[in-house]
Amino acid sequence: MDTLNTGVRNVKNVANYIIGKDSFLDLRNILLERIGNDSEKVVFFIDIYFYNSHLLEEIKLDFPNTNIIPVDSTTEPTTSAIDAVIERMKLEEMKPEVLVAIGGGCTLDTCKAVSNLWTNGGQASQYQGWDLVKKPGLYKIAVPTISGTGAEATRTCVMTNTETGLKLGMNSDFTVFDYVVMDPELTSTVPRQQFFYTGMDAYIHCIESIRGNFRNPIGDSFSEQTLQLCRDVFNSSNMKSDDARSKLMVASYLGGCAIATSYVGLIHPLSAGLSVVLGIHHCEANCIAMRAVEEFYPEEYREFWGMVEKQKIHIRSGVTSELNRLKMDELYDAMIVHEKPLYNALGEDFNDILTKEKVFELYRRM
């Protein structure tokens, strides 16, 4: 296999994980082994969706003196929001030794970013890029409540810089979670539309990786298994059955492992433009971007839209139809900055292929 030098040769995976129905019940023992009864040493980041749920009540019963920070998942993480969390933790004199994230990709990424910043100092924007984090962060545990982003397995946490508009992650081995608790029961309340959008992030990660220039046999194996699991789920008669939810949780984790060995491709940069300029959430933006990529991923394009039809999912169209030239320029700028994924997808001449007019054409298809 001919492989370009990705710069990702020494890959770090999650140290420990537990998976299966009612795995969430093991979180208490995992924490007790780590911090004993001193619940002030742990900070929980909880998606606001669960903030008034039985999960929160269980945490308060087990850890009465713990610190709980809600994460607003209606907006994606920004560098300024991460900085604000750090400031709050310092003002409230928190002294965490362990961080726990319970939620989707936004919550997990917030936890990973805070872990890095707490020990490395500075501001979140200083660490957007590859291997800029120099010290290990706080010990961190992920409890995903939706499947697809792979945030529980990846070495990055994606943020938008509120000043520059750059959407990029802290890509570092230190960003990887130390422990992941995967309980498919926690995904049972996810609305169908969101379940599909987020699940498709795993599918899209892997079609971009396996069709890219930066590949290796282990990454391909992760991708192939992830794609098969996604096909099982989204071609089934009930994508939210117990079995399907279990499979998608595995696909999400393996998809994160796959992308840790490579890069995404063309779809994610196009999606990033939609997120930065139009404020569309990442996973839905990925699905919208699929309208534009038939010439680059023809087989996957047809398969994706077949699964959309099978599951009767609505994917928005016309989101760029009324944009003026200034906004289209902003979309181009927010997309073209992602050089490594574009190189992965199209080779070193990607700028010759993705002229500004070509990018405008792609966005107009959305």
Among residues of the chain, what percentage have pLDDT more than 90?
84
Identify the helix (H) or strand (E) that includes residue 170.
strand 167-171
Last residue of a domain, one of 189, 224, 255: 189
When the pLDDT of each residue in the chain is averaged and rounded to a whole number, the result is: 94
- Residue 306 included in any domain: yes
Residue 39 has pLDDT above 70, yes or no: yes
318-362 pLDDT, tens digit per residue, is 999 999 999 999 999 999 999 999 999 999 999 999 999 999 999
DSSP state of 18: E
SS3 content of the chain, % helix, strand, coil (to 5): 55, 10, 35
> What are the structure tokens assigned to 342, written together?
């574009």
Question: What pTM does this model have?
Answer: 0.94
120/213 same-domain check: no
Last residue of a domain, one of 147, 164, 189: 189
Query: For residue 32, what pLDDT is reported?
Result: 93
The residue type found at 200 is M
Residue 270 has pLDDT above 80, yes or no: yes
Residue 4 has pLDDT above 50, yes or no: no
The residue type found at 128 is Q
Residue 3 has pLDDT above 70, yes or no: no
Question: How many domains is the chain partitioned into structurally?
Answer: 2
Residue 1 has pLDDT above 90, yes or no: no
298/209 same-domain check: yes
202/180 same-domain check: no
Question: Average pLDDT in the 34-38 region?
Answer: 91
Number of H helices, E strands in the chain: 14, 9
Query: For residue 8, what pLDDT is reported?
Result: 56
Residue 220 has pLDDT above 50, yes or no: yes
Query: For residue 60, what pLDDT is reported?
Result: 85
Residue 239 has pLDDT above 80, yes or no: yes
Range of the domain at 213: 193-364
185/283 same-domain check: no
CB atoms within 10 A of CB 318: 10
DSSP state of 173: G
Identify the helix (H) or strand (E) that includes residue 298.
helix 298-311
60/165 same-domain check: yes
113/164 same-domain check: yes
CB atoms within 10 A of CB 5: 7
282-294 pLDDT, tens digit per residue, is 999 999 999 999 9
- Residue 2 included in any domain: no
Burial (CB < 10 A; 0-12, 13-18, 19+), residue 348, is: exposed
Last residue of a domain, one of 189, 219, 244: 189
Residue 86 has pLDDT above 60, yes or no: yes
Q: Which CA distances in Å does 357 have to 6, 269, 328, 352?
A: 29, 16, 10, 11
> What are the structure tokens assigned to 198, written together?
């987020």
Question: Average pLDDT in the 264-280 region?
Answer: 97
288-312 pLDDT, tens digit per residue, is 999 999 999 999 999 999 999 999 9
343/259 same-domain check: yes
Helix (H, G, I), strand (E, B) or coil at 132: coil
- Residue 5 included in any domain: no
29/101 same-domain check: yes
DSSP state of 78: B
185/198 same-domain check: no
- Residue 172 included in any domain: yes
Query: For residue 62, what pLDDT is reported?
Result: 87
Q: Can you give the CATH number for the domain in which 260 is found?
A: 1.20.1090.10
Query: For residue 105, what pLDDT is reported?
Result: 96
